[in-house]
Amino acid sequence: MKKLLLISISVLITVTSCELIKDDSDPNIFFKIGENLEYKFNDINLYDSSAHILYFKTTHEEFKDIRDESFTFLENGDTIYSGTFYSGYLSYIPLGPIILSPPHMYGDYALRIEIWRDDQPDRRNNPRIIELLKEHDLLHSGLSGIIDSLEINGTQLTFMFTVSNMDQNDLLILDLDKIGLNLFHYFTNGLNISDRNAHELVFSSNIEHQQPDPWNSFNIEWLSLLKSGDSRQFTINYTMESPLNPGEYFAFFEFPGLAYQVTLDNLNQGNNRIWLGDIRLTKEIIYK
């Protein structure tokens, strides 16, 4: 009887110990800021993998107070990858994934993950994250873009590019033909061309930009609907200061979307979402 009692106590201690060391992390927590702010899958509206923007279903006032915290994406309590919030007022270029701390570019309902410098492959579209997002029906593919051609005749440069909607939703995008070149170049630095051998910039957009009035506003008339699966080609004419010498070059251009101008209340226009962020288009050029 005494032996049986000792065995029972031993089993009870073993079970209790297992409960004490059991992992009690919530498998529904997907995103964490610092030690105290946790967000579950059902707090997320969508993730745009083209602009790397995490949209939330509601506004979060606490985003305005975040300064030097870390952030982490999780799967069943296991870290997929981490990054840091970074103040744009700091003088160094951070390594790895960052989110700009206040003032936020995307209001209090969306956070954009950026990488300015890294020693690893881009972690923002980590396969584990993509699969988790698909599993919870949160993955959106946003926009893609390609540089179609750069035609140079003396100092005249004709730049053509195409933007495609890879998302399952119809998107409202900035239309440079509606907004005009000067206002469009407020949202983008325009075309840049660098010498691949000398590693120096040989051309950058010289179109004077025009600031919106007021500066933090937008007009729905600037936007055009790009249906899911559709593409749209645009053309910009630039004037260069001098003709391009024969050689190998690298062209890059950021197609812009809106950002802080769009509140959560006007993000969706009926069944159409305003696309936020920007995408980088590149092309290698051999000029003879």
Q: Output the pLDDT for position 24.
A: 53
Q: Output the pLDDT for position 4.
A: 41
Q: What is the pLDDT of residues 57-104, one digit of tens each?
A: 999 999 988 888 999 999 999 999 999 999 877 778 889 999 998 767
Asked whether the predicted pLDDT for residue 23 surpasses 60, the reply is: no
Q: What is the pLDDT of residues 86-96, one digit of tens each?
A: 987 777 888 99
Q: Enter the CATH code of domain 143-287.
A: 2.60.40.2360
Q: Output the pLDDT for position 107.
A: 87
Give backbone dihedrals phi and psi of 268, rounded to 5 degrees, phi first: -100, 125
Q: Where does the pLDDT of residue 158 fall: very low under 50, low under 70, confident under 90, or very high at 90 and above?
A: very high
> Do 57 and 71 touch, CB atoms closer than 8 A?
no
Domain boundaries, the chain: 29-135, 143-287
Query: Residue holding tokens 């969508």?
Result: 46
CA distance 125 to 265: 27
Q: Output the pLDDT for position 92.
A: 81
Asked whether the predicted pLDDT for residue 217 surpasses 50, the reply is: yes
CA distance 38 to 61: 14
Q: Output the pLDDT for position 223.
A: 98
> Does the predicted TM-score (pTM) go above 0.95?
no
Q: Output the pLDDT for position 169.
A: 97
Q: Which residues have CB under 8 Å from 35's CB, separation 6+?
A: none
Q: Output the pLDDT for position 246.
A: 94
Asked whether the predicted pLDDT for residue 10 surpasses 70, the reply is: no
Q: What is the pLDDT of residues 121-144, one digit of tens each?
A: 889 999 999 999 999 999 999 999
Neighbours of 74 (CB within 10 A): 22
Q: Which of 22-31, 130-139, 159-168 has the lowest mean pLDDT?
A: 22-31
Asked whether the predicted pLDDT for residue 34 surpasses 60, the reply is: yes
% of the chain residues with pLDDT over 70 = 91
CA distance 25 to 93: 34
Mean pLDDT over the full length of the chain: 90
